[in-house]
Amino acid sequence: MTTKTASVRLEKVLFERIDNHCVTKNCTRNDFVKSAIESALDNNKDDVAEHQPHYDKYGNYWTWNNDRKIWTCHVNMESVRVTN
């Protein structure tokens, strides 16, 4: 996948709101902004909250693939235990 960088100037209050939201949802600013933009372009306001990237109780990171309409789990290898 090819990516490009976009930049935007935000007022301090909005920036802090995004940070606070990301802390409560366990996501990065980048993931939140990408999700918000995709949702806005798709005209579906529910996608931002419903498909927010997040960590589960095992430390795995989950992201929503909007094209395929599926969740992707990024496994936290530190939480994987191998037993005999």
Q: Is 23 inside any structural domain? A: yes
Residue 4: band (very low, low, confident or very high) from pLDDT cuts 50, 70, 90: confident
Average pLDDT score over residue span 13-23 = 88
The answer to whether 71 and 62 are in contact (CB under 8 A) is yes
Give me the domain span that covers residue 73: 12-79
Q: Is 2 inside any structural domain? A: no
Q: Is 1 inside any structural domain? A: no
Q: State the total domains in the chain.
A: 1
Q: Is 72 inside any structural domain? A: yes
Residue 54: band (very low, low, confident or very high) from pLDDT cuts 50, 70, 90: confident
The answer to whether 10 and 17 are in contact (CB under 8 A) is no
Q: Is 55 inside any structural domain? A: yes
Residue 46: band (very low, low, confident or very high) from pLDDT cuts 50, 70, 90: low
Q: Is 5 inside any structural domain? A: no
**What is the structure's pLDDT at 61?**
85
Q: Is 52 inside any structural domain? A: yes
Residue 84: band (very low, low, confident or very high) from pLDDT cuts 50, 70, 90: low
- Report how far residue 55's alpha carbon sits from residue 57's, in angstroms, rounded to the nearest whole number: 7
